[in-house]
Amino acid sequence: MSRDRDTAADAASPADAVPARGAAATKASAPSEPPPATSIAPPPATSAACAARLIRITGSLAVARPLREAALYELARVGEQGLLGEVIRLDGDVGTIQVYEDTSGLAAGEPVALTGSALTAALGPGLLGSIVDGVGRPLSRLAQESGDFLRAGLTAPTLDPSASWVFSPGVAPGDLVEGGDVLGEVEERSGFTHRILIPPDVGGRIAEISEGEVSADAVVAVLEDGTPLYLGHAWPVRQPRPVSRRLPSDRPFVTGQRVFDFLFPVAEGGTVAVPGGFGTGKTVIEQTLAKYAAADVVVYVGCGERGNEMAEVLNEFPSLIDPRTGLSIMDRTILVVNTSNMPVAAREASVYLGMTYAEYYRDMGYGVALMADSLSRWAEALRELSSRLQEMPGEEGYPTYLGNRMGAFYERAGRVIAAGRPERTGAVTFIGAISPPGGDFSEPVTQAALRVIGGLWALDAGLAHQRQFPAVDWEVSYSLYMDALAPWFVERCGADWPELRAAVLELLQRDRELRDIAGLVGVEALQDTDRVVLDVAALVRETLLGQSAYDPNDAVSPLEKTKALAALSLSLHRTILRLLEEGAAYEELDIAAARHALFSLRNSGSADVEARALNVERLIAALGTKEPEGEGAEVAALEEAATPESPTPESLAPESLAPESPTPEDGEAEV
Ligand SMILES: Nc1ncnc2c1ncn2[C@@H]1O[C@H](COP(=O)(O)OP(=O)(O)OP(=O)(O)O)[C@@H](O)[C@H]1O
Ligand SMILES: [Mg+2]
Give the distance (Å) from ligand 1 centre to CA of residue 286: 10
Q: Which H or E run includes 61?
A: strand 61-65
pLDDT-derived band at 344 (thresholds 50, 70, 90) equals confident
CATH classification at residue 596: 1.10.1140.10
pLDDT, position 336: 93
Question: How wide is the angle at C-alpha 487 spanned by C-alphas 257 and 247, nearest 5°?
Answer: 85
Task: State CA 232 to chain mean position distance.
Answer: 24
- Of 438, 418, 316, residue with least CA distance to 367: 418
| Ligand 1 nearest atom to the CA of residue 657, by list position | 31
Q: What is the pTM of this model?
A: 0.86
- Using the predicted structure, report yes or no on whether residue 192 has a pLDDT greater than 90: yes
User: Per DSSP, what are the bridge partners of residue 53?
Assistant: 65, 111
CATH classification at residue 47: 2.40.30.20
CB 198 within 8 A of CB 248: no
Alpha carbons 438 and 443: distance in angstroms, whole number? 10
Residues 288-323 pLDDT 10s? 999 999 999 999 999 887 878 878 888 888 888 887
pLDDT-derived band at 327 (thresholds 50, 70, 90) equals confident
The answer to the question of residue 617 being in a domain is yes
The answer to the question of residue 174 being in a domain is yes
Are residues 396 and 502 located together in one domain of the fold? no
Q: 643: left (phi > 0), else alpha (psi -120 to 50), else beta? A: beta
Are residues 176 and 312 located together in one domain of the fold? no
pLDDT, position 615: 95
CATH classification at residue 206: 2.40.50.100
pLDDT, position 17: 32
pLDDT, position 368: 98
> Which residues keep their CB under 5 angstroms from ion ligand 2?
282-283
pLDDT-derived band at 11 (thresholds 50, 70, 90) equals very low
- Mean pLDDT, to the nearest integer, of 647-660? 39
CATH classification at residue 259: 3.40.50.300
For the Cβ of 11 lying below 6 angstroms from any atom of ligand 1, the answer is: no
Give the distance (Å) from ligand 2 centre to CA of residue 253: 22
- Using the predicted structure, report yes or no on whether residue 632 has a pLDDT greater than 60: no
% of residues, the chain, pLDDT over 90: 65
Residues 365-415 pLDDT 10s? 999 999 999 899 999 999 988 988 889 999 999 999 999 999 999 999 999
- Using the predicted structure, report yes or no on whether residue 3 has a pLDDT greater than 50: no
- Using the predicted structure, report yes or no on whether residue 654 has a pLDDT greater than 80: no
Are residues 549 and 460 located together in one domain of the fold? no
Are residues 106 and 185 located together in one domain of the fold? no
Could you tell me whether strands 414-418 and 243-247 are parallel, antiparallel, or unpaired per DSSP bridges?
A: antiparallel
- Of 252, 296, 256, 259, residue with least CA distance to 274: 259
Are residues 331 and 457 located together in one domain of the fold? yes
Could you tell me whether strands 74-78 and 83-91 are parallel, antiparallel, or unpaired per DSSP bridges?
A: antiparallel
Are residues 91 and 218 located together in one domain of the fold? no
Are residues 568 and 644 located together in one domain of the fold? yes
Give 20 or 473, the one with higher predicted confidence.
473
Residues 448-474 pLDDT 10s? 999 999 999 999 999 999 999 999 999
pLDDT-derived band at 50 (thresholds 50, 70, 90) equals low
pLDDT, position 133: 87
Give the distance (Å) from ligand 2 centre to CA of residue 338: 13
The answer to the question of residue 27 being in a domain is yes
For the Cβ of 302 lying below 6 angstroms from any atom of ligand 1, the answer is: no
Structural domain ending residue among the three candidates 101, 118, 135? 118
Are residues 172 and 265 located together in one domain of the fold? no
For the Cβ of 303 lying below 6 angstroms from any atom of ligand 1, the answer is: no
Domain that holds residue 169: 164-232
Give the distance (Å) from ligand 1 centre to CA of residue 540: 21
Q: In the chain, what is the straight-line distance between the N-terminal and C-terminal CA atoms, in Å?
A: 44
The answer to the question of residue 399 being in a domain is yes
Give the distance (Å) from ligand 2 centre to CA of residue 635: 41
For the Cβ of 259 lying below 6 angstroms from any atom of ligand 1, the answer is: no
- Using the predicted structure, report yes or no on whether residue 22 has a pLDDT greater than 80: no
Alpha carbons 419 and 425: distance in angstroms, whole number? 10
Task: State CA 655 to chain mean position distance.
Answer: 28
- Using the predicted structure, report yes or no on whether residue 649 has a pLDDT greater than 50: no
Select from 283, 545, 548 the residue to mutate for testing ligand 1; criterion: most ligand atoms less than 8 Å from CB: 283
Are residues 251 and 375 located together in one domain of the fold? yes
Which-ligand-closest: CA of 662?
A: 1
Query: In the predicted model, what is the mean pLDDT of the chain?
Result: 85
CB 281 within 8 A of CB 469: yes
Give the distance (Å) from ligand 1 centre to CA of residue 649: 14
pLDDT, position 311: 80
Q: Which residues contact 308 (CB under 8 A, 6 or more apart)?
A: none
- Using the predicted structure, report yes or no on whether residue 556 has a pLDDT greater than 90: yes
pLDDT, position 72: 87
For the Cβ of 282 lying below 6 angstroms from any atom of ligand 1, the answer is: yes
CB 434 within 8 A of CB 445: yes
The answer to the question of residue 210 being in a domain is yes
Structural domain ending residue among the three candidates 481, 511, 527? 481
pLDDT, position 657: 34
Rg (CA), the chain: 28
Give 355 or 71, the one with higher predicted confidence.
355
Are residues 635 and 569 located together in one domain of the fold? yes
- Using the predicted structure, report yes or no on whether residue 12 has a pLDDT greater than 80: no
- Of 361, 351, 333, 180, residue with least CA distance to 271: 351
Are residues 422 and 514 located together in one domain of the fold? no
Q: 602: left (phi > 0), else alpha (psi -120 to 50), else beta? A: alpha
- Using the predicted structure, report yes or no on whether residue 270 has a pLDDT greater than 80: yes
pLDDT, position 627: 53
Residues 92-137 pLDDT 10s? 999 999 998 888 889 999 999 998 888 899 999 999 999 998 888 8
The total domain count for the chain is 4
- Using the predicted structure, report yes or no on whether residue 172 has a pLDDT greater than 70: yes
Are residues 461 and 537 located together in one domain of the fold? no
Whether omega for the bond prior to residue 435 falls within 30 degrees of 0, making it cis, is: no
% of residues, the chain, pLDDT over 70: 85
